[in-house]
Amino acid sequence: MKLNIVPARTGITWVKLGFKTFFQQPLAMSGLFFMFMAVLSIATLVPFIGAALALALLPAATLGLMAATQEASKGKFPMPSILISAFRAGKQRLRAMLLLGALYAAGFLALMAISALIDGGQFARLYLVGGKISEDLVLQSEFQTAMWVTMVLYLPLSLMFWHAPALVHWHGVAPVKSLFFSFIACYKNLGALTVYGLTWVAILVLSLVAVTMIATLLGSPMFAAQAMFPVALLLFAIFFTSVYFTFRDSFTDSPDDLLPDPAGEEL
C-alpha cells in the first residue's frame, strides 16, 4: 500500500462522488445513516459509560458506512448487516478496531478534560451530556475559549483517525501505525481535504440561505426551523457517503510516493 498525492481540486470531486453515490442508493444510504445515528444514540444511554462507549464505537460505525458506500459505488444494494463489517472481519481485526475505538475515546475525552480546565467543565458537560444552551453561557469568555481550544486540538485528532478505521479493516494495519499513516496521508493531501471541507461548509451555508429565503417568501418563519433539520440530516448522510472516496483516492498500489513507516519499514 502506497500513498497517493492528489491535486487540491480532488476535494470537489469527493463531494460530487458523495452526492452521486448517495442518490444511486438513496433509501439504503439514508437508512444506514439513520441506523448509524441510532446505534450511537442508544450507546449514550448506557449509565455512566454511555458517552465513552459511543465515542469508542464511532470508528467501527464510520467504517460500516464506508463499506456501504463501497458497495453502492459498485451498483450494489448495501444491506443493514454491512454496518457491522468491522466486527465480522476476524478476531485479529476485531481486536484492532476495538483498540482503535478505545484510543479515539481516550483522545476525545482528554480534549474534554483540557477544556474543563479552562471553563470548569461547562463546555464538556454540554457536549457529552447535553443540556440547555443559554445566551449567558455562550457569551462567557471561558466557555468560548474552551470551545475554540477544543476545536483547534480536535483537528490533529481528527486527521489521525480520518483514514485509520479503513486502514485497519481493509489493509490490516496495526491501530497505532494506522494513526500515523492516516495523519501523514491527510497532511500530504491537506490541499484536497481543505477544499473538500470548505465545499461542504459552502453547501451547508447555501442550504441554510435557501431554506431561509423560502421561509421568507412563504411568510412562515417556522418553516426554516422545521425544514432545516431534515435538510441537515440529508446533507450529513451524503457527507458520510463521501468520506469513503477520501480514503480510496489517498492510497493506491502504484504511485511513486511511498507512505513512510515510523519503524523504518515499507507498508
Q: Specify whether the CB–CB gap between 87 and 98 falls below 8 A.
A: no
Residue 141 lies in a domain: yes
Residue 267 lies in a domain: no
C-alpha span between 126 and 183 (Å, rounded): 29
189, burial (CB in 10 Å: exposed 0-12, middle 13-18, buried 19+) = buried
Number of other residues whose CB lies within 10 A of the CB of residue 259: 20
pLDDT exceeds cutoff 80 at 18:
yes
- The pLDDT tens digits for 110-132 are 999 999 999 999 999 888 887 77
Residue 208 lies in a domain: yes
Across the strands, what pairs with 3? 251
Of 174-183, 222-231, 233-242, least confident by mean pLDDT is 222-231
- The pLDDT tens digits for 128-167 are 887 778 878 888 999 999 999 999 999 999 999 999 999 9
Q: How confident is the model at residue 253 (pLDDT cuts 50, 70, 90)?
A: low
Q: How confident is the model at residue 264 (pLDDT cuts 50, 70, 90)?
A: very low
List alpha helices for 7-49, DSSP H.
10-24, 26-44
Q: How confident is the model at residue 265 (pLDDT cuts 50, 70, 90)?
A: very low
Cell of 231: 435538510
74-91 average pLDDT score: 90
C-alpha span between 246 and 181 (Å, rounded): 14
Residue 150 lies in a domain: yes
Q: Give the domain range for residue 246.
A: 7-252
Residue 260 lies in a domain: no
Q: How many domains does the chain have?
A: 1
